[in-house]
Amino acid sequence: MIQEISVFDYAGKVLEQIDKGIFLTTKYQDTVNTMTIGWGGVVVIWGRPLFLVLVRDSRATYELIEKSNEFTVSIPLNNQLARELAICGTKSLREVDKFKACGLTAREGRKIATPIIGEAGLHYECKVIYKLPLDQAVVPLAVKNRYYHHNANHTVYYGEIQDQYIVEGGE
Ligand SMILES: Cc1cc2nc3c(=O)[nH]c(=O)nc-3n(C[C@H](O)[C@H](O)[C@H](O)COP(=O)(O)O)c2cc1C
């Protein structure tokens, strides 16, 4: 069963959980993947509700989202799925099918082709309407040293929220 919600009802819950990780799911043609993200959230820009996510260009997810221009975000509501979030935050699609490894279900979305994580409670379906690779020339030095010294750059994806709901029985 699906519980309908308004777009900002659970924005606080997103911020509460994102520190522990939430699922960012992408699909292009027959390839489906999910990874854990810890940065992002629901914001309003240009008078529209958006879900912002940041993806390093070294991720398999980056290749998929660049081609599909859409994504879903799935959020455990009760502090669950910690083991799955740990695996999806450390393993890449390039080494393992994380759905199989974690026993996660790719459940069909309602408005876009990308599925949601069936085991999680709260879901957002998003279409990328803008993206911005970080300009390292203006990133604060302390941030640069900490996050980009050895690592690939992040692109910020602005996902216009197409749908949001709770899957009852999800964690
Ligand atoms: C708690 C947590 C938060 C993370 N947040 C992000 C993030 O916001 N952006 C990002 O690019 N990677 C993030 N990662 C790392 C990716 O989840 C990880 O590199 C993953 O294996 C990439 O999978 P992929 O190559 O299949 O896309 C995070 C990892 C953890 C454990």
Contact call for residues 51 and 161 (beta carbons, < 8 A): yes
Residue 117 burial (C-beta neighbours within 10 Å; 0-12, 13-18, 19+): buried
pLDDT tens-digit readout, 105-157: 999 999 999 999 999 999 999 999 999 999 999 999 999 999 999 889 999 99
Statement: residue 51 has pLDDT above 90: yes
| Number of structural domains the chain divides into | 1
User: Which of 27, 32, 59 most suits a substitution to test ligand 1, by most atoms within 8 Å of the C-beta?
Assistant: 59
> What CATH number does residue 86 fall under?
2.30.110.10
The model's pTM: 0.98
Residue nearest to atom 29 of ligand 1 (CA): 89
Domain that holds residue 123: 2-167
Q: What is the mean pLDDT of the chain?
A: 97
